[in-house]
Structure 1
Amino acid sequence: MSYQFMAPFTFKKGITLKNRMVMAPTTTMSSFYDGQVTNDEINFYGARSGDLGLIIGEVANVIASGKGFEGELSIASDDDIPGLSALADAMKHNGTKAVLQIFHAGRKSNDQILRGQQPVSASAVRAVFPADSQEPRALTADEIDDIITAFGAATRRAIAAGFDGVELHGANTYLLQQFFSPNSNQRTDKWGGDQQARMGFAKAVIASAQAAIDQYADRPFLLGYRISPEEIETPGIRLADSLAFVDMLGDSVVDYVHVSMGSAHRTSLNDKTDKTPILTQIKDQLAGRKPLIGVGSVETPQDAEDVLALGTDLVAMGREMIREPRWVQKVADHDEASIRYQLSPSDMDELQIPRAMQDYLNGAFYSVMHFTTDPNAAADYQNQAAPMEGFEKKM
């Protein structure tokens, strides 16, 4: 059978992916204490590269105050470049393109992770989820400028390390999203206010990253942006807000838009009368201005085709790429019968899944990893938020 997702895709900058399958950012929690790359991470991505069109590497913090969890990658120092270069090389095997996601966690951190420092955010507003969130300190204007500069410096380091692009992580309730959210951003200076004003931080970060690309890139280099379409807090981001944000991205310099959702077919969490898939609404808002990456509970080849049918240009898989590193190769070889849709705990070492990640999969993601030992495995997230989207319970 001939699949649309196996066709090549070329970005306007001239970077061509050999197919439309993307490995979504997949948190391994396996970096050293200081954010340096480990062999576990190199082996994990090396086992999954070579067949995919694109790998989007897990998130790296751009500044020390931006660390969100233990075992997180750092791109905050030039000392990080050699390790990141080895990681990029592992991802780029046999022509797979490699993009690195970069971010600041903002209030989605704590003083233990930050070695005694209080988390920071747009405003001093504690997150509703998780329940043990700490109240952050509101960033000063100078600190905001420093973070914007840090995103540009991180982009320069990603260029030097050999990646094909960076993705700004504006999803999953991290700092870029916190500045856009009326829940976490209650500032009265130029960084806060109405919907358009709350886009200012994201616009400044995009400009900083693009300036680094313009100055340092000696080859075509992608700049992507990831969003979460809704928050459930009141006040919070609603789908109409995100569509306005997407409209801004459509007119910006970014090269693609990536949506973070547990299910690609999800409709609005807040407006149950809205039956149009969110991805379709975002596609309509972009109106062809930017490529769109869809993600969420994609497992089978038909799942991937169905996501493209929603109007996306590329399809990302996260959990399925953990279970089946050779998914694309098996489709190409007409060997779909051997694709692994379940995960045996005894196979995780063989699949190069780092031990820290194994613990994570056995925890927050246990019910949706399709473990062979789980008699109650869920089919997917259906019309609910996933843990990585910033919620501690199912909706």
Structure 2
Amino acid sequence: MVQNFLSNYSFPNGLTLKNRVVMSPMTTMASFHNGMVTSDELAYYEMRAGGPGMIITGVANVSENGKGFEGELSATTDSMIPGLTKLSKSIKQDGTKAILQIFHAGRKSSTKILRGTQPVSSSALKAVYPEDSEVPRALSENELLQIIDDFGEATRRAILAGFDGVELHGANTYLLQQFFSENSNQRLDDWGGSLEKRLKFILCVIDTVNETVKKYADKPFIVGYRLSPEEIETPGIRLKDSLYLVDKIKNEVDYIHLSIGSYKRTSLNEKDNNATLISQFAAITKGVVPLIGVGSVELPEDAENVLADGADLVAVGRELIREPHWVQKIEAGDVESIRTKLSPFDMDELAIPTVMQVYLKEAFSRVMHFTTDSNAIQNYSDSLAPMEGFEKKL
């Protein structure tokens, strides 16, 4: 049987992927306290490299006050470039392309994580979840302009470190999403209020990053954007808002990447809308910009279903934690040996960093299909998943 996800894909700027499989950006929590890359991280990526056409790293912060959790990568200073160079090289095996995901956590941080500094956001409004979220300080215009520049500088460092692109993390309730959402952005200046004004910060970041690429990249370098299609808070981002966002940026980025827990997901807010989210975004992106579909892809048929639904590329996340050689086994016709469950006793041999093992057992235990967990959730077709900001069944 022909498997379309194993065929190559070329971006308009000339960057070619050997197949359409993308390793999703996933948190390892394994960087040093200052955000420098560790040997544990390098080993984790090296084991998963060589199969997917493209690997997107776990997120790296662009500003000192943008750190969202301990063990997070940093792209804040030039001192990070040597470690980031090692990271890109660990990924770029057998033709796999390396993408650095960059972000600012905004209010999704804490004074403790920021070593005594109050978190910042578009407005001084605390997040609904978690309940112990802190009230952030509203960014001044000069401060938000500096963060926009920081995204450009992080992109420059990614170019110098040998990455093939960057992904702007505008999903999972981080700062880019905070500016776009009416739930978190209630500013009364040019950076908030109407839908168009709430989009301004995102457009400025994209513009700055694109200008940086033009200035420093001497080979094809792509810029992607990841978004969460909906928020369930009121007020909050609705599907029509995200479709509007994609329509506005589709000619300014090299790909769109959805953040959803299941590729079968339909709207969480519009119960009479039975079309999958992937198909609705594909209606806007098709023929203009590639769309990465994602969510609980475990077997070859799942990957084919994502492409059949309108996506151009398919992201595989948790399955590549469980099965680092997922692509290679499919190519070799060895599908029967693919692990779709994870034994806690196998995590060392799978090069999963020790701190990440704890994270998976605690925060992600219900989505990892642990062999020791008989109550594991099998999919997120009707709910938000932990990786999307918080878990809530509707």
Query: Scaled by the length of structure 2, what TM-score is found?
Result: 0.99
Name the residue aligned to 1:57. 57
Q: Does residue 362 of structure 2 align to residue 363 of structure 1?
A: yes
- Once the two structures are TM-superposed, the CA of residue 377 in structure 1 deviates from its matched residue by 2.0
Give unpaired runs (5+ residues) of structure 2. none
Task: Measure, in 2, the Cα distance between the counterparts of 1:368 and 1:168.
Answer: 25
Q: Is the 8 A contact 1:129 1:392 kept in 2?
A: no
* Residue identity opposite 1:283 in structure 2: A
Residues 344, 373 of structure 1: 8 Å contact kept? yes
The reply to whether residue 46 of structure 1 matches residue 46 of structure 2 is yes
Q: Which residue of 2 aligns with 1:260?
A: 259
- What is the distance in 2 between the residues matched to 1:273 and 1:54? 36
Deviation at 1:46, TM superposition (A): 0.3
More divergent stretch after superposition (168-177 vs 280-289): 280-289
Residue 339 (1) aligns with residue 338 (2):
yes
Work out whether 1:3 is the aligned partner of 2:6. no
Q: Deviations over 1:89-119 (max 9, x none)?
A: 0010111001010000000000000001110
On the 8 A contact 2:97/2:164 being kept in 1, the answer is yes
Q: 1:157-213 CA distances to partner (integer Å, 9 max, x unpaired)? A: 000000000000000000000000001000111111111111100000001101110
Displacement of 1:363: 1.1
1:217-263 CA-to-partner distances (Å, cap 9, x unmatched) read 01110000000000011100000000100101123x21000000001
Q: Offset of 1:285 from its aligned partner?
A: 1.8
Aligned to 2:248, the other structure's residue is in SS state helix
Indicate the SS of the match to 1:94. coil
**5+ residue gaps in structure 1?**
none
* Structure 1 residue 392 displacement after superposition: 4.3
Structure 1 residue 393 displacement after superposition: 3.3
Aligned pair count reads: 394
Paired letter, 2:169 = H
User: Is 1:278 aligned with 2:273?
Assistant: no
SS of match in other structure, 2:100: strand
Letter in 2 for 1:174: Y
What does 1:22-41 align with in structure 2 at a 5 Å threshold? Answer: 22-41=22-41
2:124 corresponds to: 124
Say if 2:266 and 2:381, in contact at 8 Å, map to a contact too: no
**In the alignment, what sits opposite 2:189?**
189
Paired amino acid for 1:150: D
Q: Partners of 1:63 and 1:201 in 2: how far apart?
A: 15
* Contact 1:24–1:316 under 8 Å retained in 2: yes
Shift of 1:375: 1.5
**In 2, distance between residues paired with 1:368 and 1:193?**
37
Structure 1 residues 330 and 287, CA gap change in structure 2 (3 angstroms): closer
* Structure-2 residue corresponding to 1:66: 66
What is the CA–CA distance in structure 1 between the aligned matches of 2:389 and 2:8, rounded to whole Å? 33
**Could you tell me which amino acid in structure 1 is paired with residue 385 of structure 2?**
A
% identical aligned pairs: 60
Check if 1:80 corresponds to 2:69: no
Q: Which amino acid aligns with 1:324?
A: E
Classify the secondary structure of the residue corresponding to 2:240: helix
SS of the aligned residue for 2:383 comes to: coil
Distance 1:2 1:308 in 2: 13
